[in-house]
Amino acid sequence: MDLPQSFGRRYAVVTRLALALCGISFLTRCVLALRDDVSGTLGQLAAAFALGAVYDLIAAAFALAPLALWLALAPNRVARWRLHRLLIALGVSVTIFSLLLNAVSEWIFWDEFSSRFNFIAVDYLVYTQEVLGNIWQSYPVGKILVALAGVSLLASWPLARSAWRTSASPLNWLERLAGIVFALALPVALFYGVSSTDKNRFLSDALNELAGNGFYEFAAAARNNEMDFMRLYASLPDHEALALVREKLSLTSDGWRSAEGEERLRSIDSRETEKRLNVVLVSVESLGAEFLGAWGDPRGLTPRLDALAKESLVFGKVYATGNRTVRGLEALSLSLPPTPGQSIVKRPNNTHLFTLGDVFEHKGYDTAYIYGGYGYFDNMEAFFSANDYRVIDRSAIPSERIHYENIWGVADEDLFDLAIREIDASLTAGKDQQAGKRPIFTHIMTTSNHRPYTYPAGRIDIPSGSGRDGAVKYSDWAIGHFIDEAKKKPWFKDTLFVLTADHGANARGSSEIPVDKYLIPVLFYAPEHLKPERVERLMSQIDIAPTLLGRLNFSYRSKFFGQDIFRAPPGEERAFVANYQTLGYLRDGRMVTLQPRRKVGIAPDANAGTVSAAHPVDEKTLRREAIAWYEAASLAFGRGRLLDEDADNRLRGAGQAK
């Protein structure tokens, strides 16, 4: 069959939009390549651009498949309708605007997270009010949208005129078949034949991200929000992984409920008199240790925390498990290594788990979680209320008591004032604390140290909204205000304050996991009960909860993966650091990394402590330990082994009844 010269002319709009997508993606890649956090040789950059061009074409195939399918199926009579041609032309203009808007959004996202769109971007779509509000307060959104609209109109005009003409072209059966094959078969083949991780061919995470395409990475992240450890990562036989972790946990435990390999419940017995102190745990938004003078920063941004450090039990080498608030909350409440994908705080089946709040509740404490924003954000209210905490958020603060608020929440000083009132009310209701009636455990999560970095005027010498340094200094001021107000209360002398961070300020660096950016401060402040001391042993954020309970001399039954650092034998220090798919294990001067496709890497890392001269750990053992810890954590949650003891007993009873 001879094909006419106009064969497939109706599809010209698809071809032109594909070229537009690739062209704008190329320009976006050029702009991102100029950033300070992107570096590489000329050959590496060329390779990243070449890989990027392939992913741009793949993204175009997915994005334009619906349009190609419609054009293939539309009858010739319908294709000639003026309304149909008008809609196609308008669609071209909207598409060009969307491509330009996406390019600007990618730059903003990279500025915050040093990556293309990932599961965080997918996650943020659920919380459009907070996210869009944050963007609106941080950037001149109105001007950007007007500028993009003007540019898109100019750029799309010739394409729209062409689409008006060509979209009405008739199709024969062969042309329709070709369009259907393109729209259906090609995307299906690409879906099964190409992975987002195929582009990761560089040692630099920034180059791997540069090689991606924003649209494709967003779709891949939406698909892979939860990642199956056993399917994607290097693993050991279940019984080996569980036995290895059980052996490690036995070093700081006093016996197990049973000899069963998957058993999680073990005894922690104290030989000292229990201290029924009130406990206030403050997790400060994005407060990396890099900002504190007590950790070597010379800028003077944290005078109150630096002063408190001199009166506190300080842990100087603690690493956050991740780079998002939900990861920090997971580590502090569940004492669990980070499992790949989404935090357990936001997963299904995350109720009735063994938490720090559960331990305090069984000790007769009133447990509460207080947040400066709205509790529905990041599933905080649902998670904490289903796991032995009362949840109190900004809705509990009358408007006349709010000095300042932005899209994320009230100013930290207003949050701390709320906490003071709630603690007063709880201890008044529980009266006579010395007789053992209802001391309090309160976990406070702040919001002010977050873009757009705004706070009440007149508190510090850095203007509101001028950047991260000001937000850090204001957060420090608010903590000082909180401690000053607490000192006026009769409960202060019997209260232990734990001051730490949910995660560091950023996760940028030349490596997959820039460990130095995960270092967070940890202070135990109780001047009547704890002597000032600085502990420089390597610790994980998941060790904070058991170390805290150890300082209180609590005897309890535990399912925590973390260890009380004062019980851990010398040489057994380790830490867990991760992003949503790369899992890091720090020990003995090295870091093991676990990645999808069963990749395992190991390299020296100055943040991982010093290699033990007496008993150095060989690389094979390090790899096995890293795999075992993460595998055991994933299995424990997936198999329901993290339930609190009451729920666990109910489940066991139901199983025995059957």
Among candidate residues 355, 361, 358, 359, the one with its CA nearest the CA of residue 336 = 355
pLDDT band at residue 271 under the 50/70/90 scheme: very high
What whole-number distance in Å separates Cα of residue 298 and Cα of residue 286? 19
Which position has the token pair 């004492």? Answer: 335
Residues 129 and 205 in one domain: yes
Q: Over the stretch 111-134, which tens digit does the pLDDT of each residue have?
A: 877 788 876 677 666 556 666 676
> Can you say how many angstroms the Cα of residue 392 is from the centroid of all Cα atoms in its chain?
22
Q: Residue 434 above 60 pLDDT?
A: no
Q: Pick from 569, 588, 606: which residue ends a domain?
A: 569
525 falls within a domain: yes
* CA 286 vs CA 389, 518, 633: distances in Å: 23, 10, 25
205 falls within a domain: yes
Give pLDDT, residue 525: 98
pLDDT band at residue 652 under the 50/70/90 scheme: low
Give pLDDT, residue 225: 61
Which is it for strands 575-578 and 583-587: parallel, antiparallel or unpaired? antiparallel
Give pLDDT, residue 655: 56
Outline where DSSP puts E strands in 249-361: 266-268, 278-284, 313-319
Q: Residue 656 above 60 pLDDT?
A: no
256 falls within a domain: no
Q: Pick from 541, 569, 597: which residue ends a domain?
A: 569
Burial track 357-389 (b if 16+ CB lie within 10 A, e otherwise):
bbbbbebebbbbbbbbbbbebbbbbbbbeebbb
What whole-number distance in Å separates Cα of residue 163 and Cα of residue 98? 17
As beta bridge partners, residue 369 has 391, 443
What is the number of structural domains in the chain? 2
Residues 306 and 442 in one domain: yes
Give pLDDT, residue 466: 92
Residues 218 and 313 in one domain: no
238 falls within a domain: no
* DSSP structure class, residue 11: G
Q: Residue 3 above 70 pLDDT?
A: no
Residues 195 and 321 in one domain: no
Give pLDDT, residue 340: 87
Give pLDDT, residue 650: 65
Residues 356 and 209 in one domain: no
Residues 279 and 198 in one domain: no
Helix (H) or strand (E) holding 72: helix 42-73
Q: Over the stretch 517-527, which tens digit does the pLDDT of each residue have?
A: 999 999 999 99
Residue 135 in contact with residue 111, Cβ under 8 Å? no
Most confident of 95-104, 136-145, 429-438: 95-104
Q: Residue 497 above 80 pLDDT?
A: yes
CATH number of domain containing 391: 3.40.720.10
Q: Residue 59 above 80 pLDDT?
A: yes
Q: Over the stretch 357-413, which tens digit does the pLDDT of each residue have?
A: 999 999 999 999 999 999 998 899 999 999 999 999 999 999 999 999 988 899 999
657 falls within a domain: no
658 falls within a domain: no
Tokens at 402, concatenated = 């709010």
* CA 531 vs CA 1, 292, 313, 525: distances in Å: 91, 21, 7, 9
Residue 651 in contact with residue 643, Cβ under 8 Å? yes
Q: Residue 5 above 50 pLDDT?
A: no
CB atoms within 10 A of CB 239: 10
Which position has the token pair 């062409």? Answer: 162
Share of the chain above pLDDT 90, in %: 65
Share of the chain above pLDDT 70, in %: 92
Residues 51 and 121 in one domain: yes
550 falls within a domain: yes
Q: Over the stretch 145-202, which tens digit does the pLDDT of each residue have?
A: 899 999 989 988 999 998 888 888 898 888 888 889 888 888 888 888 888 878 888 8
Give pLDDT, residue 291: 97
Tokens at 93, concatenated = 């203009």
Q: Residue 301 above 90 pLDDT?
A: yes
Among candidate residues 419, 440, 418, 420, the one with its CA nearest the CA of residue 429 = 440
Q: Residue 653 above 50 pLDDT?
A: yes
Average pLDDT over every residue of 302-328 = 97
What whole-number distance in Å separates Cα of residue 137 and Cα of residue 210? 28
Give pLDDT, residue 524: 98
Q: Over the stretch 437-472, which tens digit does the pLDDT of each residue have?
A: 689 999 999 999 988 999 999 999 999 999 999 999
The 3-state DSSP class for residue 596 equals coil
| Tally of CA atoms within 13 A in the half-sphere of 366 that contains its CB | 19
pLDDT band at residue 4 under the 50/70/90 scheme: very low
Q: Residue 339 above 70 pLDDT?
A: yes
Q: Pick from 522, 546, 569: which residue ends a domain?
A: 569
Give pLDDT, residue 199: 87
Residues 441 and 561 in one domain: yes
586 falls within a domain: no
Q: What is the average pLDDT score of the chain?
A: 89
**N- to C-terminal Cα separation, the chain:** 70
User: Which range of residues forms the domain containing residue 547?
Assistant: 269-569
Q: Over the stretch 569-589, which tens digit does the pLDDT of each residue have?
A: 999 999 999 987 789 999 999
* CA 585 vs CA 20, 228, 508, 588, 630: distances in Å: 43, 19, 18, 10, 9
Which position has the token pair 């080996």? Answer: 240
Residues 166 and 296 in one domain: no
pLDDT band at residue 217 under the 50/70/90 scheme: confident
Average pLDDT over every residue of 553-557 = 97
Residues 221 and 278 in one domain: no
Give pLDDT, residue 125: 67
| Tally of CA atoms within 13 A in the half-sphere of 631 that contains its CB | 26
* DSSP structure class, residue 89: H
Write down the H helix ranges in 324-464: 325-334, 356-362, 380-385, 412-430
Residues 221 and 288 in one domain: no
Tokens at 237, concatenated = 């036989």
> Which range is least confidently modeled, 313-327, 433-447, 633-647?
433-447
Residues 462 and 321 in one domain: yes
